[in-house]
Structure formats: C-alpha cells, structure tokens
C-alpha cells in the first residue's frame, strides 16, 4: 500500500473480512497504523461471515473482530452481530461496550425493522421503508455507504452532529437499503442519489414486526431471541 495515499485520505473504511487470513490481516493492520497516526477518520463494519472464520476458534474470531472497534471512529453493526460479540449482554449494553472501545458514533441495524444511531449517550431510531424484498445482498453496504457519504460530505468531524441530523441520515440510509433489497444482485442493486431521494418521498414506512418500543427492545439479549 502506498503510504502517501493512505496518509492523504479523508476517510479509511475497513471490515473484518480482511482480518481472517494473512497477508490481508497484516496489510490491514499496517494501513490502520498509518491512517491513525495521521489522525484520519476510520469507519468499520464487522460484517460477520462465520464460514470465513471456520479455520479459527470462535474466541479468536471474536477477539479479532472486536479489535476492529478499537481502531474506528464510526461503526455499523447488525443486531445479530452485536449479540454474538457480547454474549449474555443486551443490545444497549453491547452498544455501551462498543462506545467504550473508542467509536463515538455507532449505527445498529435491525434489517426489516429499521435502524438506530447511538451517539453521546443518546439513541435515535428510524423505521425501515416498505418494499417487496427479492434479495437482501448488499443492503448493509448500501446503508453504511450512504451513512458515510452523508457524514463526511461537509468534511466535518464525527463529534459535531446533532440527533436530528442523525435521524435524517438514518432515513436516507434506510431508503438506500430498502431499494437494494427490492433488486437482484449486490452492486447492480445499488440505487442512485436521485432514486434514494424519490424513495423517501414515495415509499411508506414499515411498522416493526418484533417490537413497539425501541428503548425496550434495546434491553433484548441473545437469550431472549433464542
């Protein structure tokens, strides 16, 4: 990797998939050392894929994925990932654990039941949009890509956001994820900015199927869902 390129970037994004095997693991660690020493913003998506970790003990898999949180300013994690990473703890406790590792801004996704942004001790929720689902591949990437695009379009630090702004970001990212689910493929299913803006105006919001109160649902543990 070109160190000049790394040190000149505005945002460095990585996922845990590059931590499963060498030499990608060492290359990722080197790149993160470079960008962090240059005080660049770092985003992280655990993107848990158990089959890719099958060559390692579960605890080593968990340790490597958790290591990623310590490197990042902002992360996206799914409900299933959070409960797996912090066995026996509630979603809210898991969010607190992630924040304690360093990220000031955490996005928690619930698939068809919407998403949450957690920031400075507060959470904001936005429901999903209703679409006919044909393929969920890439929906998380569409969601987080839009989050990152909006977060840094004005080149602002993570610490400068208000909760109403994060609600707007969740709405936009949820619309992008919904459109992705309504199409086949991953990259071909990614929507344009114009399509996402139109979807926010025309698609109806979907009532969550598993909860009526997000604050109560954040107390859910893996045992509750077993």
Residue 170 near residue 109 (C-beta atoms within 8 A): no
Would you kindly state where each structural domain of the chain is located, as residue ranges?
Answer: 1-70, 73-226
pLDDT in tens, 8-62: 888 999 999 999 999 999 999 999 999 999 999 999 999 999 999 999 999 999 9
HSE, side-chain direction, 13 A CA sphere, residue 217: 17
How many residues does this entry show for the chain?
226
- The percent of the chain in helix, strand and coil, each rounded to the nearest 5, is 50, 15, 35
Q: Which residue has the tokens 């848990």?
A: 48
Rounded Cα distance, 74 and 106, in Å: 6
pLDDT in tens, 134-164: 999 999 999 999 999 988 776 665 656 788 9
pLDDT in tens, 4-13: 889 888 899 9
Q: What is the CATH number of domain 73-226?
A: 3.40.1190.20
Q: Fold identical between 1-70 and 73-226?
A: yes
Which fold is adopted by the domain 1-70? 3.40.1190
Q: Which residue has the tokens 């609600």?
A: 167
pLDDT in tens, 110-139: 999 999 999 988 999 999 999 999 999 999
């Amino acid at each position: 990797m070109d160190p000049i390129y790394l040190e000149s970037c505005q945002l460095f994004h990585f996922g845990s998939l590059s931590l499963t095997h060498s030499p990608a693991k060492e290359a990722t660690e080197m790149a993160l050392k470079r960008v962090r020493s240059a005080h660049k913003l770092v985003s992280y998506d655990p993107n848990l894929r158990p089959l890719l970790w099958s060559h390692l003990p579960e605890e080593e898999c968990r340790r490597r994925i958790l290591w990623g949180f310590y490197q990042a300013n902002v992360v996206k994690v799914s409900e299933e990932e959070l409960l797996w990473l912090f066995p026996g703890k509630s979603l809210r406790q898991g969010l607190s654990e992630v924040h304690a590792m360093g990220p000031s801004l955490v996005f928690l996704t619930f698939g068809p039941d919407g998403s949450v942004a957690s920031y400075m001790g507060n959470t904001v929720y936005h429901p999903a949009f209703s679409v006919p689902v044909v393929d969920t591949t890439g929906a998380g990437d569409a969601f987080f890509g839009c989050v990152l695009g909006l977060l840094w379009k004005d080149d602002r630090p993570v610490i400068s956001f208000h909760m109403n702004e994060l609600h707007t970001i969740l709405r936009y990212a949820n619309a992008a994820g919904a459109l992705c689910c309504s199409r086949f493929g991953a990259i071909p299913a990614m929507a344009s900015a114009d399509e996402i803006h139109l979807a926010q105006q025309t698609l109806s919001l979907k009532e969550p199927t598993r909860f009526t109160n997000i604050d109560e649902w954040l107390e859910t543990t893996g045992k509750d869902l077993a």
